[in-house]
Structure 1
Amino acid sequence: MTARILVFASVAPELAHEFEHAYTQVTARMQGTPGLLGDELLRDGNKPGRYLLLSEWESEEQFIAWESAPAHREITVPMRPYWSGNFERRIYNLAARLEPEVSVG
């Protein structure tokens, strides 16, 4: 079952650009990770320095396996210096999906 991982995080607003660059470094290194379907970094438009990291995995189990592996800590090193304060991680399993209608001809 598809799982979505949401990580709510804060960085110092003056370091936001550097954090976003670190995110691109991390995601480039994650290419080909088994089970990873996609990853996005969303910036809060009303609160500078607030982010939502959203990833989609084939299953919760595959995410947990990656998160528990030593490679996880090594791959995410570029982002760690930018966290300021707490972050929160939530796992959601896909319950339903709206599929767009395809018009034929």
Structure 2
Amino acid sequence: MAEDRIRIDKWLWQARFFKSRTLAAERVAGSVMRVNGQRVSKPAHAVGPGDVLTFAQGGAIRVVRVLASGTRRGPAEEARLLYAELDGPPGAADGGSED
């Protein structure tokens, strides 16, 4: 559904992968970001529940499935409900580190 989709830069920020939306947008535009295996380079690319994101963060490759679009950038516990880890990165118990 279209209403369940959100810009990838906004979702990455709300899910607390990046400290600012600007940093998330720069990372999407300047690095290899994949959505469902397809490379994307536009921060406005829409993602929603079920999409699988693959991206570099802090020297590691993250693979996460979007569970929800979210409505705000809330606390880490709330942000952790927006995605499921598919790769078991180091420090997975911390709910995701910020870049």
Whether TM-score is above 0.5 comes out as no
For normalisation by structure 1, the TM-score amounts to 0.28
Larger CA Rg, structure 1 vs 2: 1
For normalisation by structure 2, the TM-score amounts to 0.29
Tell me which of the two structures has the higher relative contact order, counting C-alpha pairs closer than 8 angstroms and 6 or more residues apart. 1
